[in-house]
Amino acid sequence: MLAIFLNAQWRHLALLNYVVDPDLLKPLIPNGTELDEWGDKAYVSLVAFLFEQSKIFGVPIPFHGSFEGVNLRFYVRRRVDGEWRRGVVFIKELVPKSAVTLVARKVYHENYSTVTMGHQKSLDSQHRCRSIRYWWGDQDNGCRLSLDLQNAENINGDKRARFFADHFWGYSRRSGGRTIEYRVDHPSWQLSSPQHFELTGDMAMHYGSEFGQVFTQSPESVVFADGSEISVHRGVVL
């Protein structure tokens, strides 16, 4: 049994899902995995969320208990013992904590960067999220994502929405063409579709011109997940 490296809560996840040309992703697919598509379409997802109660090997991280994260990711799978392990590959991950960036690069060889970030949320009397807004980057080139969750549609049974939310493995590339595989444990999240969302800002500033072009189109779907406690296991080199 592999040791659990990170315990945390991932809360208030906003997933904006875009159809892309598979050729855009092929150079980034880790060895030993293949592109995982839904309905013969390849997707990238922009995911904004909150880290809360973060612990490394069970020890709370000083001054890092709660912070924002935004990642751009796509989906792969690997066949093991006759079953598919469905996972994600991070194109880029943004956090406001330089120590998190350092650890993620060293341990998982993930493409993390440190930027200024923030959020604002509104909860109802039962502590359910009514609206949330994330922002990242500097004032001139900053990006903003806001979701209105009042009267959001319950989509727990939507198989496409579950495809985006229910990948429980992570894959990253390291030098020499090797692949790191790690497991992420969490229960199936409650999913909803917001009535309104807005994404603004210079996305190419953070993700490059090719991926920046992705955001000139509208996402094919927008999914909101309440989130839960999660556990990230130590990675293994394939």
User: In this predicted model, which residue has the larger pLDDT, 230 or 101?
Assistant: 230
Task: State residue 174's pLDDT score.
Answer: 85
Task: State residue 147's pLDDT score.
Answer: 97
Domain count, the chain: 1
Is the pLDDT at 143 greater than 80? The verdict is: yes
Average pLDDT over residues 141-163: 94
Q: For position 19, which CATH number holds? A: 2.40.400.10
Q: Dump pLDDT digits (tens) for 66-116.
A: 899 999 999 999 999 999 999 999 999 998 887 777 777 777 677 888 999
Count of Cβ atoms closer than 10 Å to residue 31 Cβ: 11
Which of these ranges, 4-8, 185-189, 213-217, 233-237, has the smallest mean pLDDT?
A: 4-8
Give this prediction's pTM: 0.92
CB contact set of 109 (below 8 Å; sequence gap of 6+): 172, 173, 174, 180
Chain centre distance of CA 162: 14
The residue segments making up the domain with residue 125 are: 4-237
Task: State residue 2's pLDDT score.
Answer: 60
Q: Dump pLDDT digits (tens) for 51-72.
A: 887 776 555 665 566 899 999 9
Task: State residue 234's pLDDT score.
Answer: 86
Task: State residue 112's pLDDT score.
Answer: 81
Task: State residue 57's pLDDT score.
Answer: 57
The C-alpha atoms of residue 76 and residue 97 are separated, in whole angstroms, by 28
Q: Dump pLDDT digits (tens) for 29-52.
A: 999 999 999 999 999 999 999 988
Average pLDDT, the chain: 90
The C-alpha atoms of residue 207 and residue 210 are separated, in whole angstroms, by 8
Average pLDDT over residues 8-32: 96
